[in-house]
Amino acid sequence: MVFSQRTIMILAALVWYGGGIALVLKGMALAKSAYAIDPDSFWSYGAPLLGIAIGLVKTKFIFNHACKKNILRIGKLEAPKLWQCFRTGMLLFLAIIIPAGAWMSRAAAGKYLYLCLVCALDLSICTGLLVSSSMFWKLKAFSKEQAS
């Protein structure tokens, strides 16, 4: 079944935003768990802040480029299929990384250091996703005439 480029773009944005929102919720839950174990440690506050700082760097060097590249790719699709909201490699990567992230969170349960590390990782990725999502708006990805 063929869909419009705009529909594929909206789906890509929903996945992009959805991932960012899911990771901010998961990251903050991990931070809360770490805080419950050791509220006096610097890392109870430092890990989330470090994750956000690393995420801002990732935004500049990785996520903005990846998001823009995907938007431009979708804009060139002749007869877009639903699964073409991302490249096949990206879909495979997501199929691996989502269960891996869930496993890391379960493995970190009750372990302060691991809670802080996974929290920082999740918040770095969510920051990258959410901040770079501005590319959808900068490139007018949802309008009938897209900027290139």
In a domain, 19, yes or no: yes
In a domain, 146, yes or no: no
At 103-143, the pLDDT tens digits run 999 999 999 999 999 999 999 999 999 999 999 999 999 98
In a domain, 39, yes or no: yes
Measured distance CA(42)–CA(83) in Å, rounded: 44
* Tokens describing residue 66: 């990846």
In a domain, 147, yes or no: no
Q: Look at residue 147 in the predicted model and tell me its pLDDT.
A: 47
Domain range enclosing 107: 5-138
In a domain, 98, yes or no: yes
Q: In the predicted model, is pLDDT for residue 144 greater than 90?
A: no
Which residue has better confidence, 144 or 58? 58
Q: Look at residue 117 in the predicted model and tell me its pLDDT.
A: 98
Buried b (16+ CB within 10 A) or exposed e, 66-101: bbbebbeebbebeebeeebbbeeeeeeeeeeeeeeb
Q: Is 2 helix (H, G, I), strand (E, B) or coil?
A: strand
In a domain, 56, yes or no: yes
In a domain, 143, yes or no: no
Q: How many domains does the chain have?
A: 1
At 37-96, the pLDDT tens digits run 999 999 999 999 999 999 999 999 999 999 999 999 999 999 999 999 999 999 999 999
The rounded mean pLDDT for the chain is 95
Q: In the predicted model, is pLDDT for residue 9 greater than 50?
A: yes
In a domain, 102, yes or no: yes
Q: Is 9 helix (H, G, I), strand (E, B) or coil?
A: helix
pTM over 0.85: yes
Of the pLDDT bands very low, low, confident and very high (cuts 50, 70, 90), residue 146 is low
